[in-house]
Chain A
């Protein structure tokens, strides 16, 4: 042998098995989620223009900077660049209006990181989805800015500065169809993202593709998005405006922030139940609350609050729903 190692001079380390580990890391997972969100975010920038880009960049920088600062102050290991704070910033920006003044966005982002994440103890310890807390904080602080949307042209050249769900809530379903020029035009606009809304929530097709990428990479389970979206579809269909079974489930499933919420927020590992069964319960609950707010509440959209409310229940779900232990009855 060319390079013989003298066994007697070798210092060995000891630890508990297993000695081999899978190659995935927390950071790799976070960057994959960011990657999955990228197409829909890029679409938002192209569709809504420079203000959307500014908001995304500001939100991400504020989140990463806030995390870095908090970790410096707490004197803990700096993990600000592991993709997790980046993800919070990106998600928050994707869930707000492109017309939002950037300083407000930055404040929302700092609230998400400092209050929702680090005051609970940092990564893995937070009860609520940080991006959604940031969004909720902005909603109560600047309700008008949060509901001022871009002015866009619909396929029939109608000019609108409301979201489809907003039109539905204030003017009704027939007005909504009129604005978009018919049902199939409405569906097409929702599917492709040619409609008003938050920066990253509009393009259903890109969000679903991103979500499927995460399912394929085994980062999320399909159960949460499928069950949550289906619950909203069923409830909005059953409890329609003209009586039972007159609703438009296709519209509701693609409208608002449901797709981004179901694929990217309700699936947040930290704040969703840990078992698949628990995740199904969580998704049903989130779907029910979303439908309830949309159909009966004062807000046109309820995805954000539904997920935050279900986040509160997660520890309870995890306590009640556990796998059966081998060799025991339960």
Chain B
């Protein structure tokens, strides 16, 4: 077997996956009320196509936009629209949202679910289904999937990568999909490859998930898809890192993966694509890993979009300790939430409730130039310098001399810093200053 070249840097945080690794996905009952934001994705927000007082069914389109870079939004259960207004959200702090009060029947929209023979569909039909189903990147990027999946011929795509690295600590959603819904996921890989018109497919899974490697290898036997166990190292699942390891190509600075002929998509995303294409089910639910030391019973839950974090945590037995932070996503790249009332949106892969003790956050000290961040940076930046420039607001220097715009904000630098410097925060601040001073702004 070929020896994989790894990427530069990276860190090895405790993976904390054992809390939910072996727990099968549990379907959470539909809550009394769902708050569904019309903006859960990169691009234009959906425009509501229902009014207050309307009855809606599960899977019915409730927000739509005519532009290309957008994503549709569907009702995640049946019931009555009781409000359309601005609500706090786990994505972009707040959004216009459609509130549905469940009727408890959880009735499908007419004709759903259906069964399609995907092999008889043509490429254009697949693109349209993915678009109509409101699928976005579920690994946290929230980028509309119909755009990615239709890059094929015009961008000269030759390789499709299924990203099953799941390198964030605690999170097990992708893993559970790989071992529990292997066949569906494998079909999704084939659908994506057909849609992209590529022959070469690679599934990358971190080698701390041998069962997933085994299951996927079995399911894709006899196809052109190769299943590869990649070394467990954070941020292995970052697009740039995984593509470098699996396709041995680097994405040039300022370009996207599609510019070098590769499209990479996340496990949950492709699973949703398969559900949409084969069963006609739009993206109305997703698997969420609920964990952290403040949660009574950590588990992997299938949650309807729009369910509040609070409802999900209560389903997991509630809180046993007072959490300091409720995190949307993983501990390395997630987002701490200001309220537990925010809804689960498409991009929420995890809900972590963590106490102060588990966060081990110290007081920020002066940089001692130990160089650990330089060693850890997968991109090859000098994070220590960026943090010092951040303190002084010197955004131009950070951009011109230290390449700050290449930063992927993986957090490896802040993780290793013995002075507990919030390097990523400084970097985001400098990036914002650069944006505010750029000619494209306003």
| Chain A residues within CB distance 8 Å of chain B | 1-5, 7-8, 10, 12-26, 28-29, 79, 122-125, 219, 269-270, 272, 274-276, 318, 322-328
- Chain B min CB distance to A285 (Å): 18
Contact (Cβ within 8 A) B318 A1: yes
Indicate if the CB atoms of B371 and A275 lie closer than 8 Å.
yes
Of A16, A26, A125, A318, the contact of B428 (CB 8 Å cutoff): A16
Within 8 A of A (CB), among B3-29: 7-8, 11, 13-14
- B360 touching A21, Cβ below 8 Å: yes
Across the interface, A20 reaches (CB within 8 A) one of B336, B359, B381, namely B359
Q: Are B340 and A124 in contact (CB under 8 A)?
A: no
Give 7 pairs: A residue, B residue, CB < 8 Å, sorted on A.
Answer: A1-B320, A17-B332, A21-B414, A24-B416, A24-B418, A323-B377, A326-B244
Is B177 located at the chain interface by the 8 A CB criterion?
no
- Asked if A122 and B366 sit within 8 Å, CB to CB, the answer is yes
B255 touches A19 (CB 8 A): no
How many residues on B have C-beta within 8 angstroms of the other chain's C-beta atoms?
A: 78
In the bound complex, residues from chain B placing their C-beta under 8 Å from that of A18 are 331-333, 411, 414-415, 424
B84 → A minimal CB distance (Å):
25
Q: Are B414 and A124 within 8 A (Cβ)?
A: no
B371–A14 contact, CB under 8 A?
Answer: no
Interface of A is mostly: loop
Q: A113: shortest Cβ distance to chain B, in Å?
A: 15
Does A325 lie within 8 Å of B332, measured CB to CB?
no
Choose among A16, A19, A26, A270 the residue that contacts B418 (Cβ–Cβ < 8 A). Answer: A26
B336 and A19 form a contact (CB under 8 A): yes
B370 within 8 A of A: yes
| Most chain B beta-carbon contacts within 10 A, residue among A10, A17, A25, A124 | A17
Instruction: Considering the complex, give the chain B residue whose CB is closest to the CB of A28.
Output: B418
**Cα A123 to Cα B418 with chains together (Å):** 13
Smallest CB gap from B420: residue in A: A21
Known pairs A7-B319, A12-B325. 9 more at Cβ < 8 A?
A1-B318, A10-B319, A17-B414, A18-B331, A272-B369, A326-B380, A326-B406, A327-B252, A327-B255
The reply to whether the CB of B123 lies closer than 8 angstroms to some CB of chain A is no
- Of chain A, the residue at the smallest CB distance from B333 is A17
- Given A269-B370, A274-B369, decide whether A14 and B337 contact each other with a Cβ distance below 8 A: yes
User: Residues 404-442 of chain B: 1 if any A CB is under 8 Å from the residue's CB, otherwise 0?
Assistant: 001001010011111110101100100000000000000
Q: Is B365 engaged at the interface, CB distance under 8 Å to the other chain? A: yes
Q: Does the CB pair B418–A12 fall under 8 Å? A: no
Q: How far is the CB of A60 from chain B (nearest CB, A)?
A: 20
Which residue of B has the minimal Cβ distance to A219? B370
Q: Tell me the bound Cα distance from A99 to B366 in angstroms.
A: 36
Q: A15-B336, A327-B251 are in contact. Are A4 and B415 (CB under 8 A)?
A: no
Contacts of B377 in A (CB 8 A): 323
Known: A12-B324, A12-B325, A328-B406. A4 touches B371 (CB 8 A): no
Measured in the bound complex, the distance between the Cα atoms of B421 and A25 in whole Å is 11
Question: How does the 8 Å CB contact mask read for B122-142 relative to A, with 1 for contact and 0 for none?
Answer: 000000000000000000000
Q: Which residues of A lie under 8 Å from residue B319 when comparing CB positions?
A: 4-5, 7, 10
Q: Which residues of A contact B63 (CB under 8 A)?
A: none
CB-based nearest A residue for B415: A18
Out of B337, B365, B379, name the residue touching A325 (CB < 8 Å).
Answer: B379
Pairwise interchain contact B250-A327, C-beta atoms closer than 8 A: yes
7 closest cross-chain pairs (CB), A and B: A18-B411, A323-B380, A5-B319, A124-B366, A16-B425, A327-B253, A14-B336
Q: How far is the CA of A24 from the CA of B373 in the complex (A)?
A: 13
Out of B325, B359, B418, name the residue touching A22 (CB < 8 Å): B418
Inter-subunit contact B415/A22 (CB<8 Å): yes
Partner of A19, one of B334, B369, B380: B334
- Is B223 interfacial (CB-CB < 8 Å)? no
- A20 and B415 form a contact (CB under 8 A): yes
Q: Assess whether B321 is interfacial by the CB under 8 Å rule.
A: yes
Who on chain A is nearest to B375 by CB?
A276
B294 to chain A, nearest CB (A): 7
